[in-house]
Amino acid sequence: MGKRVGLFVPCYVNDFYPEAAFSTLEVLESLGFDVVYPENQSCCGQPFLNNGMVYDARKLAERFVDIFADFDFVVAPSSSCIGAVKHRYDGIVKDARYPLLRQRVYELCEFLHDVVGIENLRFQTPFRGRVGLHNSCHALRELGLAAPSELHIPPFSKVRAVLSKIEGLEVVEPSRDECCGFGGTFSIQESAVSAMMGRDRIADHRTNGVDIVAGVDMSCLMHMEGLAKRDGIPVRFVHVAQLMTGRV
């Protein structure tokens, strides 16, 4: 039996995009990991952290540590929530197990790239066609999954490297790696600006002639999906794990 992986499923994935969670489970199990979904898991607390509600966030953060501390690894189909666990629990969680746990918490593509290794990836289902890759802010600028344009450093992308192992898939990226405008409660507090930013990202992807846009954060994709549906734009939004399993 392989090492034990705790599967953490963010709230919005659990409620609206379960196919992203099932695909993540399928990918991990195909690599020989013993994957466990703790049924008592809940929100990581990021919405509270975003709004300065530290007391409420602390209770959820401590719950997260208590549930996942004993796993060899913790993996989630989200860079946003994993970013919160890795970088925003520090100082609010007093549990002595947290410093070790944060080193074993990964976004899915980060885990496949850094722990499993690109050379060991074999996806069984080919994908024929072009897909636009949305690089979310948390993936770029908090977890460092790719080179953000403002740093002017040599380009790299762990997500793109993982997707390169899918036979037949052509990944194309928009001209700019700007925010889609979701930003959690930003999309509520500044809805007009948020919508403009989202429509700008959709238009950028559409210039590449794609009808599917994929990413590691369904929260960003959910925002753009809503705008595209409202505007009658025929484009679908899927999690990258779905490309790996053919659940598209």
Are the beta carbons of 207 and 176 closer than 8 angstroms? no
Across the range 202-211, mean pLDDT stands at 95
Q: What is the pTM of this model?
A: 0.95
What CA–CA distances, in Å, run from 39 to 60, 68, 162? 15, 11, 29
- Secondary structure letter of residue 112 according to DSSP: I
Name residue 200's amino acid: D
- Centre a 10 Å sphere on the Cβ of residue 207 and count the other Cβ atoms it contains: 11
Across the range 165-181, mean pLDDT stands at 95
- Secondary structure letter of residue 143 according to DSSP: S
- pLDDT band for position 185 (cuts 50, 70, 90): confident
Q: Looking at the predicted structure, is the pLDDT value of residue 83 above 70? A: yes
What CA–CA distances, in Å, run from 10 to 54, 79, 152, 205? 19, 10, 32, 26
Q: Which of 143, 36, 29 is nearest to 86 (CA)?
A: 143
Are the beta carbons of 122 and 73 closer than 8 angstroms? no
Amino acid 184: pLDDT: 81
Written as six digits, the tokens of 125 are 């289902």
